[in-house]
Amino acid sequence: DSNNKIVKEAASATVTDLHTAGVDGADGQVLTDKGDGTIDSEANLTFDGSTLSIEADANTTANALFIDCNALTTGNAIHIDVDDAVADSGANFSIVNIDYDKSANNTSGTKAIYGIDIDLDDDATGNTSNTFLYGVDVDIDAANANGIAGQTGFRANITGGDTAFMHSFSSLITDGGYDFHAQSSANTLD
């Protein structure tokens, strides 16, 4: 105090007001440490109890979501677990939905957009055991075939472009490799 005495102040057991720590954001904003002992309330990172939202409209060269994990053994960089127990025959949803809408006219140069861009590189030069890289691995299974149990591993619907430059499937492989390989479940040699 002003007389250079130490005074014990009674504190509340629960802190609910963070205004003194610099938190003045809106409802649902995620709090982050500024690194100087103060807290920021992120306007572009919100959580409403069930949905985490990242608003990255101003990003031009930065990643909206960056995951760096360099020591995986059995884990995943992203794991989505959907246990669908809803018996609704009218349900129609996607596990992952990429919705890209281009509205600006491209007036010069070439613009290339990849819905999913997969780069798998084995840069190790001293492998002594087997290594297999799978760009896409699809497993689809049904417990029974009651009703119609339709399954499609890959489906492409490509329309509206210049037919000379439209490809339903495009492959470039080192000479001697299989351009396309299909195997029968009844006979693996077929």
Whether the predicted pLDDT of 124 surpasses 80: yes
* Dihedral of the alpha carbons of 93, 94, 100, 101, in degrees to the nearest 10: -10
pLDDT digits (tens, 9 = 90+) for 1-21: 778 888 777 766 666 777 776
Give the per-residue SS3 of 94-160.
CCCCCCCCCCCCCCCCCCCCCCCCCCCCCCCCCCCCCCCCCCCCCCCCCCCCCCCCCCCCCCCCCCC
Instruction: Note the pLDDT of residue 26.
Output: 83
Taking residues 152-162, report their average pLDDT: 91
Confidence (pLDDT) at 13: 63
- Reported as a single tens digit per residue, the pLDDT across 36-60 is 877 888 889 999 999 999 999 999 9
pLDDT at 74 over 80: yes
The pLDDT value recorded for residue 22 is 67
Residue 89 pLDDT greater than 80, yes or no: no
> What are the C-alpha distances in Å from 139 to residues 4, 142, 170, 175?
73, 10, 22, 28
Rounded to 5 degrees, φ, ψ at 163 are: -60, -30
Residue among 42, 44, 63 nearest 54 (CA): 44
pLDDT tens digits along 130-154: 999 999 999 999 898 788 888 999 9
Q: Note the pLDDT of residue 12.
A: 62
